[in-house]
Structure 1
Amino acid sequence: MFVGWRDILFAKGRFTLMGVTVALITLLLVMLTGLTGGLGSQNTEALEKMGADRFVFFPASSGGQASFADSAVTAAHANEWSATGATAVPIGFTTGKIEGEGASTLTLIAAPAGSDLLQRTAALVQGAAPADGQVALPEAVAKELGAEIGDTVTFSGADLTVSGVTADTFYSHTNSGWTTTATWQAITHQREVEGAAAAVGTVLAVTGGSDYAATADATGAQALTTREAFAALPAYRSENGSLVTMQGFLYGISALVIVSFLTVWTIQRTRDIAVMRALGASHRFLTLDALAQAAVILAAGAGLGALVGAGLGALAVNAVPFQLSALTVAGPAAGIWALGMAGALIALRRVARVDPMIALGGN
């Protein structure tokens, strides 16, 4: 990298500008990636922690798209899946206003009394799992309401006794509390009407079993993995799609910026490269030297952007949903560096085509 270092030292301002540009793009990507992860986690955290092998949906219309908004399962559905050797737990979801001394929005998740789903998903901080007519509140909501164990709170018009307090767990951007299936049925007015069985939940959380596809076909259901079930949350689909698209644009812009800079820089160095070619420098030497130069600038810029992004992310986690991890910081930096090097290969093709005759005054 003999020539590359001297170029960098000679044109400090130009290479500093390039490095700062790469750093800013990396910073934007680190922040956007962390925000995407944080918002995604607030949508899906409860589902991930349930540890189900499959979430089974029974859409309102046959062949309809799986959605938490219109799926409903009955006791017969749960029995059909349990008969295959799987453990099928009906889970109900409903979101509403909860009131005590204060008020908040809460998603109430329901499971049959005695189910271990609560313990698997949201650890009890104090108190006990809810019985019928009771609710286990997440810490943040309990604090907002000023509610303690034994107090009565009102959820969507129904009075419930606080049985315990759990760790905060989010579903569709809302903190989640827990109750029993019978209580959920009463709150959501689920009852048998004209021979139609009452719903006991929104979906089935299935663990064990094997041939999920065959059972789903036989029961008219849709069995999705946890990650596939994320798409059944309308907010997750639109939100995540928008943020990932923005990331894609930023990666594309970074590649274009780097290719443009290196192309212009190579054109400006054409005569210098021709002189070195005339003195016997090989294509390989010149190309590797230029690539090493690009690697240094990209590494410095991406590293600086990632460092600043990590610092800002550490502050952001206290104010907004932000996922700060090695992946959300190092991932964008590595992506920018790799894209930049790919762009450098494209831009530096001109190095191999420089004619040494230019250095000797040829045309």
Structure 2
Amino acid sequence: MFLAIREMKYAKLRYTLIGLIMVLVAWLVLFVTGLANGLASDNAAVIQKMDADYFVLQEEADNRLNRSELSAGQVDAIGGEPFGVRMMTIEHTGKVDVTVFSMNPESEIMPRIVEGKSGVVADQSLQMTIGDQFTDSITREVMTVTGLTEGQSFSHTPAIFVTEGPVSAVAVQSKSIHVDGVELLTKKEALQSIPGYKEEQGSLMMMIVFLFMIAAIVLAVFFYVMTIQKMHQFGVLKAIGTHSIYLARTIIYQVIIISIVSLLISVALVYGIAFVLPVDLPFYLTPSLTAGTSLLFLAVSVLGSLLSLYKVTKVDALDAMGGSF
């Protein structure tokens, strides 16, 4: 550790530049991760937060919740918590696309009401207040908001929860369902079947993977070049009895120090920027996701230094010093 810190103090400019690059890459990784998580939540928050492991749908629905419709007999035979899903365009201050979920307000899958009571519960993103009225643009039915919920959306539209409507699916905890004309989906399969969910997450995850690869390559190239430049010094150190493992630890310490400092700065930057982002931008980064992404970034950084470690272990003292002995 002593040698690692002393060398970093001596070559401040070099290590500051690589640190700056790592800050930018780490910030971009965290930002895209938050964006991916925010888009996933905006596209499927209702299903993600629903207390259920499996969903029972109509067999001909192609795994789509909004295409499924179960009969009363099927619902009774299945048990569990039934709910309906349908898309609607409402008229309030203007026309807005929403997803309407019909479910028993006393059921375990009903989201928490933050204000008001059950009946017609609208998500706060619709910017409605209790007592506001809106109209179904097709049936011209007028509804009055009785309660508000928070963070509930489906297919990038705000959710509205009502007490009555056709049953699209049943949320269950067990997969032992024996009813004709239905199919059983896991929560993951139900999420993947939401239009655009799999494609969005796949594209963003590919970006995140490439960013991790870039981080590993940048660190690998930087430390490899610096290792080659210091071959003479490594040769002298080996000649006086310094073990290869000590020199390898020096490089690892430098990688870890740079990565940790870069991550701390990047986390502060990404949370600072999150405060000024528009409210309609789907960005969501939890502490656990931040910690997991940071640990993975640190592991990738250490992995990127393995080429330099190999070079150090193969240094021959006599050759490194130009055969002066």
Same structural fold, with TM-score higher than 0.5 when normalized by the shorter chain: yes
Work out the CA distance in 1 between the residues paired with 2:249 and 2:57.
Answer: 56
Q: Map 1:283-322 to 2 at 5 A.
A: 283-316=244-277, 318-322=279-283
Q: Map 1:59-208 to 2 at 5 A.
A: 59-60=59-60, 65-82=62-79, 87-89=80-82, 91-111=83-103, 114-117=104-107, 120-123=110-113, 125-126=115-116, 128-130=117-119, 135-141=120-126, 143=128, 148-149=130-131, 151=133, 153-168=135-150, 169-181=152-164, 184=165, 200-207=166-173
Work out the CA distance in 1 between the residues paired with 2:251 and 2:7.
Answer: 10
Q: Map 1:332-343 to 2 at 5 A.
A: 332-343=293-304
Deviations 1:217-239 (A, max 9, x none): x5243222323321121221111
Instruction: Rate the CA distance shift 1:152–1:258 in 2: closer, same or farther, 3 A.
Output: closer
Q: When the two structures are superposed, what TM-score results if normalisation uses the length of structure 2?
A: 0.90
* Matched residues, number: 323
| Structure 2 partner of 1:194 | none
Work out the CA distance in 1 between the residues paired with 2:25 and 2:273.
Answer: 14
Instruction: Rate the CA distance shift 1:123–1:266 in 2: closer, same or farther, 3 A.
Output: same
Work out the CA distance in 1 between the residues paired with 2:130 and 2:200.
Answer: 35
Q: Would you say the 8 A contact 1:107–1:171 is kept in 2?
A: yes
Q: Would you say the 8 A contact 1:98–1:154 is kept in 2?
A: yes
**One-letter amino acid of the structure 2 residue matched with residue 177 of structure 1:** I
| Structure 1 partner of 2:45 | 45
Structure 2 gaps of 5+ residues are none
| Structure 2 partner of 1:29 | 29
| Structure 2 partner of 1:190 | none
Work out the CA distance in 2 between the residues paired with 1:319 and 1:88.
Answer: 31
Work out the CA distance in 2 between the residues paired with 1:69 and 1:358.
Answer: 71
Instruction: Rate the CA distance shift 1:263–1:50 in 2: closer, same or farther, 3 A.
Output: same
Instruction: Rate the CA distance shift 1:308–1:88 in 2: closer, same or farther, 3 A.
Output: closer
Question: Following TM superposition, by how much is the alpha carbon of 1:309 offset from its aligned partner in structure 2, in angstroms?
Answer: 1.5
Question: Following TM superposition, by how much is the alpha carbon of 1:22 offset from its aligned partner in structure 2, in angstroms?
Answer: 0.8
| Structure 2 partner of 1:327 | 288
Q: When the two structures are superposed, what TM-score results if normalisation uses the length of structure 1?
A: 0.81
**One-letter amino acid of the structure 2 residue matched with residue 50 of structure 1:** M
Larger mean Cα displacement after TM superposition, 315-324 or 166-175: 315-324
Task: State the identity %.
Answer: 26
Question: Following TM superposition, by how much is the alpha carbon of 1:150 offset from its aligned partner in structure 2, in angstroms?
Answer: 7.4
**One-letter amino acid of the structure 2 residue matched with residue 80 of structure 1:** A
Q: Would you say the 8 A contact 1:96–1:105 is kept in 2?
A: yes
Q: Would you say the 8 A contact 1:142–1:165 is kept in 2?
A: no
Question: Following TM superposition, by how much is the alpha carbon of 1:248 offset from its aligned partner in structure 2, in angstroms?
Answer: 0.9
**One-letter amino acid of the structure 2 residue matched with residue 172 of structure 1:** S
| Structure 1 partner of 2:323 | 362
Work out the CA distance in 2 between the residues paired with 1:122 and 1:56.
Answer: 23
Work out the CA distance in 1 between the residues paired with 2:170 and 2:320.
Answer: 75
* RMSD of aligned Cα (Å): 2.4
Instruction: Rate the CA distance shift 1:49–1:6 in 2: closer, same or farther, 3 A.
Output: closer
Q: Would you say the 8 A contact 2:81–2:107 is kept in 1?
A: no
